[in-house]
Amino acid sequence: MNIQLKTQGIAATRLLAGKVSLVTGSTSGIGLGIARALAAAGSVVVLNGLGAQPEIAKTRKQIEAEFGVGVGYSAADMTSREAIAEMIATAVASHGRLDILVNNAGIQHVAPLEQFPVEKWDAILSINLSSAFHTTRLALPAMRQNRFGRIINIASAHGLVASPFKAAYVAAKHGVVGLTRVTALETAEDGITCNAICPGYVYTPLVEAQIDGQAKAHGISREQVIHDVLLAQQPNKRFATVEELGALTVFLASDAAASITGVALPVDGGWTAH
């Protein structure tokens, strides 16, 4: 009994051995946490995102050493459909397969509608929504050929509900949830699933960047911003962690989640239960 449990434990930690994963926007925050979790589960991982090259090279080496899997990197800019096409083609050619695609790259801008910079609208729609359309359409042929695929879109609680001053972000994330459902329907008979994870607030550089701005705007302290502004809607009053999102992604990528598709799963401490 003990031996069996122990064996199951070992198997569970390498649940994704032999798989190849690509995570967009994985040089930081949630994407990096998800890439680490996939690597810990035994998957080869291709990282993507902006950042200083020495720092990215260090991250790759760290993940490789810690988890004993290959870690690649693509510098593809998610605003460029040509760069995205090259990234997917290279990933498939290098590894002969692409099993798990995590669409995570995203940016934020907060402004009232009348003052919302038009170029920010275009950039947010392009990085947060259109890039997922391009990666998905380009990854599907390899997934269909293997009759296995897992597409996991990192949407947001803002893919389910709105907040003021986030027009582009809320529109893009609602779009990601719609794209998730369509992808699930079109792939359901081919061993492929597509789901959206909808986090509330997770403490990452993207959120850190909002704290000082909000403190200035409201004339309050950072602590007040965290508790009274950011977590005001989040009933459990705590940030979700990148490790929690990594564990959920590994589960959705595993065989155990084969029947879960087309779902937009809130990880928001109860926010969207209001």
Residue 14 or residue 109: which is nearer to ligand NAD going by CB? 109
- Confirm or reject binding of residue 79 to ligand NAD (CB under 6 A): yes
Q: Does 204 bind ligand NAD (CB under 6 A)?
A: yes
Query: Whose Cβ is closer to ligand NAD: residue 207's or residue 215's?
Result: 207
* 80 Cβ neighbours under 8 A, 6+ residues apart: none
- Secondary structure string (H, E, C) spanning the chain: CHHHHHHHHHHHHCCCCCCEEEECCCCCHHHHHHHHHHHHCCCEEEEECCCCHHHHHHHHHHHHHHHCCCEEEECCCCCCHHHHHHHHHHHHHHHCCCCEEEECCCCCCCCCHHHCCHHHHHHHHHHHHHHHHHHHHHHHHHHHHHCCEEEEEECCHHHCCCCCCCHHHHHHHHHHHHHHHHHHHHHCCCCEEEEEEEECCECCHHHHHHHHHHHHHHCCCHHHHHHHHHHHHCCCCCCECHHHHHHHHHHHHCHHHCCCCCCEEEECCCHHHC
Q: Does 156 bind ligand NAD (CB under 6 A)?
A: yes
Stretch that binds ligand NAD, among 12-20, 46-54, 63-71, 252-260 (CB under 6 A): 46-54
201 catalytic? Reply is no
Kindly tell me which residue out of 38, 40, 63, 78 binds ligand NAD, with binding defined by CB under 6 A.
78
> Exposed/middle/buried for 153, CB within 10 Å: 0-12, 13-18, 19+?
buried
CB atoms within 10 A of CB 274: 8
Spatial separation of the C-alpha atoms in residues 239 and 241, rounded to whole Å? 6
Q: Which of 56, 105, 143, 179 binds ligand NAD (CB under 6 A)?
A: 105
Q: Which stretch binds ligand NAD (CB under 6 A): 20-28, 37-45, 52-60, 140-148?
A: 20-28
Q: Is residue 130 close enough to count as binding ligand NAD by CB under 6 A?
A: no
- For ligand NAD, the closer CB: 21 or 104: 104
Judged by beta carbon, residue 35 or residue 98, the one nearer ligand NAD is: 35
Candidate segments 9-17, 24-32, 65-73, 135-143, binder of ligand NAD by CB under 6 A: 24-32
* Contact between 205 and ligand NAD per CB under 6 A: yes
Cβ proximity to ligand NAD, 79 vs 233, nearer residue: 79
For ligand NAD, the closer of residues 148 and 239 by Cβ is 239
Q: Is 248 in the site for ligand NAD (CB under 6 A)?
A: no
27 binds ligand NAD (CB under 6 A): yes
| 266 belongs to the binding site for ligand NAD (CB under 6 A) | no
Catalytic residue among 73, 169, 201, 203: 169
Known catalytic residues are 169
Applying CB under 6 A, the residues found at the interface with ligand NAD are 25-31, 48-51, 77-79, 104-107, 127-128, 154, 156, 199, 201-202, 204-207
